[in-house]
Chains A and B, each alone.
Chain A
Amino acid sequence: MRGRLIFTGQLAFTLLVAAFLAVPAMLSMSAGVTVNYFRGLQSGVTLNWVYQVFDLYSEAIARSLLIASATLVVTLAVGVPAAYALSVRGGRLSRLVEEVITLPLALPGLAIALALLLTYGGFGSFRRSWLVILAGHVVFTLPFMVRSVMAVFATTDIATLDEGAASLGASPWRRFRDVIVPNARPGILAGSMMVFTLSLGEFNLTWMLHTPLTKTLPVGLADAYASMRLEIASAYTLIFFVMIIPLLLLMQLIADPEQRR
C-alpha cells in the first residue's frame, strides 16, 4: 500500500516535469498552424504561417544548413586525424592539447565571439562573410568531434591495431585510411550528429558574429520572437523542430544502448 503511494507520487511528479518541458513545445507546434492563436484551434488550421516563414527566412535556414555542413566537413578533417594522433601519442603534450581544445566548452559563447571580433574585426571581407561564423562554430564544436572519436579509440586499443598494420608494411596514410578510420566509425558518426545539431542551433556566438546579410536559422528565430506575430514565431519554431527531430532520433539510435533498456 505504502509502496503504491510512493510510486504514484513519484509518477505524478515526473509527469509534471514532463508537462513543464513538453506543453510549451506542443503549444508552439499548434500555434504555428492555427489561424489565430488568441482564439484557439477553433479559428481553423492553416499552413499559411509556415509559408510566410519560408518567404521571410528561407535564406537564413539555407545558410544555417550550409554552415552546419561546412562545420561538419572542417571538424571531420581536423578532428579525426587529431583524435588519432592524440590517442596514439599520449603523454603530457597530448593532454595539454586536449585541455586547450576543450576550453571553448567552458567559456561562454559570448566571450569567444568577442575574442573573434576583436581579432578579425579589421579583416573586412572575412568579418562580413559567413566564414567568420564558420570559424566560431568550428571552435565550439571541434571538442565534441575529437572527444567522441577519442572515446572510441580508448576502448579499441588502437595502438596495437596500428602497430599490427605497420608490421605488415602498411604506410602511415594507408593505415589511417584502412584501419584507423573504419575502427573509429561509431565515434565519427556520433560526433558528426552532435556537431551538425549544435551548429544548426548555435546562437550565443552567432548573434555577435552575424551581419544583416549573414543571418542564420537561430538568429532568424530570435528576430521572429522579437518582431513577428506569435503564429509566425511558432511556425518557425515548428520548422526547426521538424529539422532537428530526425537528427535527435538518429543520435539516440547510435547512442549507447544501455540508456534504452
Chain B
Amino acid sequence: MSHKSFLWLCLLPLAVVTTAFFVLPTGRLVVAGADGPQGLGGYFAIVLEPRFRTTLINTLVLAAATTLVTLIVSTVAGLFLQRNRFPGRSVLIAVLTFPLAFPGVVVGFMIILLAGRQGLIGDLTNRIWGDKVVFAYSIYGLFLGYLSFSIPRVILTIMAAVAKLDASLEEAARSLGASPWAVQRDVVLPALGPAFVASGAIAFATAMGAFGTAFTLATNIDVLPMLIYTEFTLDANIASAAALSVGLGVIAWAILALARSFSGGTVAAAG
C-alpha cells in the first residue's frame, strides 16, 4: 500500500464517525430549526419574540458577569500564586484546581450545600441575624456555580501566562521609577491580554451553554439552555428548540472563534 493511501485509510474512521454522528445530525438540526410554523422566521424569533429576547439578554448578562468576576478573581489569585513561594503553596494550587473535573451537576450541588435551604450561608446568617439567606435556586446561585466552574480553568491559564512573562520588562519599568501599581497596570496586565481573551472566552461560552448546573439548581431559571430544554421536553416544540440551540451554538462558536483570532491560541469550551 502506498504512503498516500495509508494516510487516507487513517482518516477514514474519523470521516465516518464525524459524518454520521456530528455533521449529518447538525445539518438535520439546522433544517429542523426552519421547520416550524414560521419557517425560516423561527430563527429570528430568538431576537424578535419578547419572551425569548428576555431570556437571551439574561443569559448574556449572566455570562458577561461570570467572565468579568472570574477574570478578576483568577488574576489576583493566579499572579499571587505564580509570584510567591511559601509553604503550602502547592496544596493551595491543588485545592484551587481540583474542581476542574466537576461536572455541572456536581457544581450545582456544591452551590446548594453553600447557599441552599440546608446550606452553610443560610445556617450562618440564621445564627447571626436570625434570618436565613437562601439564594441557590435562582440566577444568583447559577452565577456562583459558574464562578466555581470557571475559576479553576482560568487560574491555570493565567498562571501559565504569568510564568512565561519576561521578568526583565518589569525590572526595567521599576528601575525607570515606575510604582508597583504602575508596573502591574502598564506592563503585567497588558502582557496577559491574550490569556485574558482566551480564558475569558471559554468562561463566557461555558456560562452561556452549560446546562447541568442550572438543571440541578432549578428548572425555572430563565436562561437559554433551560429554555431550550423546556421547549423540547415539556412543550414538544421541536422547531423552536432546534432554532434556539442553533442560535446558542452560533453565539458560543463566534465568541470562541473571535477570541482565537485575537489570542492565536487554542480555545475551547467544556462541560
Q: Interface on A for B, CB 8 Å cutoff?
A: 6-7, 10-11, 13-15, 17-18, 20-25, 27-28, 31, 37-38, 74, 77-79, 81-82, 84-86, 88-89, 97, 100-112, 114-116, 118-120, 135-136, 138-139, 142-143, 146-147, 166, 171-173, 176, 197-198, 201-204, 207-208, 218, 221-222, 225-226, 230, 233-234, 237, 240, 244, 247-248, 258-261
Contact B163 A258 (CB under 8 A): yes
Q: Is the beta-carbon distance between B1 and A119 smaller than 8 angstroms?
A: no
B7 interface residue (CB < 8 Å to A): yes
The contact of A138 among B17, B92, B256, by CB within 8 Å, is B17
* Complex contacts, A22 vs chain B, CB 8 Å: 95, 98
Interface residues of A: mostly helix, strand, loop or mixed? helix
> Which of B96, B101, B160, B242 gathers the greatest number of chain A CB atoms within 10 Å?
B101
Contact, CB under 8 Å: B268 / A17: no
Does A11 contact B80, Cβ atoms closer than 8 Å?
Answer: yes
A contact residues around B11 at 8 Å (CB):
81-82, 85-86, 97
Residue B183 interfacial (CB < 8 Å): no
The CA of A97 and the CA of B22, in the complex, are separated in Å by 12
Which residues in window 132-173 of B have CB below 8 A to A?
147-148, 151-152, 156, 159-160, 163
A240 nearest in chain B by CB position: B106
- Smallest CB-CB separation from B86: which chain A residue? A11
Q: A108-B211, A135-B21 are in contact. Are A173 and B81 (CB under 8 A)?
A: no
The reply to whether A172 and B1 form a contact with Cβ atoms under 8 Å apart is yes
User: Which residue on A lies nearest to B24, using beta carbons?
Assistant: A119
B192 at the interface (CB under 8 A from A): no
Q: Are B216 and A225 in contact (CB under 8 A)?
A: yes
Could you say which residues of chain B place their CB within 8 Å of the CB of A198? 270
Whether B209 pairs with A110 at a CB distance below 8 angstroms is yes
Which of B37-45, B46-54, B113-121 touches A? Answer: B113-121
Nearest CB to that of B228 among chain A residues? Answer: A110
Q: Looking at the assembled complex, report how far the CB atom of A260 sits from the nearest CB atom of chain B, in whole angstroms.
A: 7
Known contacts A106-B269, A204-B212, A207-B212; A20 and B148 CB within 8 A of each other: yes
**Known A85-B11, A201-B101: A221·B209 in contact at CB below 8 Å:** no
Question: Once the chains bind, are A119 and B268 in contact (CB under 8 Å)?
Answer: no
Main secondary structure of the interface of B (DSSP, over half): helix
Does residue B265 face the partner (Cβ distance < 8 Å to A)?
Answer: no
B residues less than 8 Å from A147 (CB atoms): 266
Known: A115-B26, A201-B101. A108 touches B249 (CB 8 A): yes
Q: Is the CB of A21 within 8 A of B148?
A: yes
- Asked if A204 meets B268 with Cβ closer than 8 Å, knowing A27-B113, A108-B245, A118-B29, the reply is no
Bound Cα distance A104, B249 (Å)? 9
**Chain B contacts to A: CB under 8 angstroms:** 1-3, 6-11, 13-14, 17-18, 20-26, 28-29, 32, 73, 76-77, 79-81, 84, 86, 90, 92, 95-96, 98-106, 108-114, 118, 120, 147-148, 151-152, 156, 159-160, 163, 180, 205, 208-212, 215-216, 225, 228-229, 232, 238, 241-242, 245-246, 248-249, 252-253, 256-257, 266, 268-271
- Contact status B268-A105, CB under 8 Å: yes
Min CB distance A35 to B, Å, is 15
Chain B residues with CB under 8 Å of A31's CB are 113
State in angstroms the CA–CA spacing of A139 and B17 once bound together: 8
Is A27 a contact of B103 with CB atoms below 8 Å? Answer: no
Task: State the CA gap A109–B252 with chains docked (Å).
Answer: 12
Q: Which residues of B contact A138 (CB under 8 A)?
A: 17, 21
Taking a contact as CB atoms under 8 Å apart, the answer to whether A112 and B266 are in contact is no
Which residues on B sit within 8 Å (CB–CB) of A105?
256, 268-270
- What residues of B have a CB within 8 angstroms of the CB of A74 in the complex? 17
A114 touches B76 (CB 8 A): no
Tell me how far the C-beta of B201 lies from the nearest C-beta in chain A, rounded to whole angstroms. 10
Q: A7-B84, A207-B215 are in contact. Are A27 and B18 (CB under 8 A)?
A: no
Inter-chain CA distance A226–B121, complex, in Å, is: 20
Residue of B nearest to A94 (CB): B11
Q: Which of A10, A202, A237 contacts B80 (CB 8 A)?
A: A10
Query: Which residue of chain A is the closest to B108 with respect to CB atoms?
Result: A225
**A201 smallest CB distance to B (angstroms):** 4
Closest Cβ of chain A to B157, distance in Å, is: 11
Distance from B63 Cβ to chain A, minimum over Cβ atoms (Å): 12
What residue of chain A has the Cβ atom nearest to residue B25's Cβ?
A: A115
In the complex, residue of chain A having the shortest beta-carbon distance to the beta carbon of B160: A259
CB distance from A143 to the nearest CB of B (A): 7
Contact in complex: A102, B245 (CB < 8 Å): no
Q: Which residue of B lies closest to A198 (CB)?
A: B270
Residues of A within 8 A of B238 (CB): 118
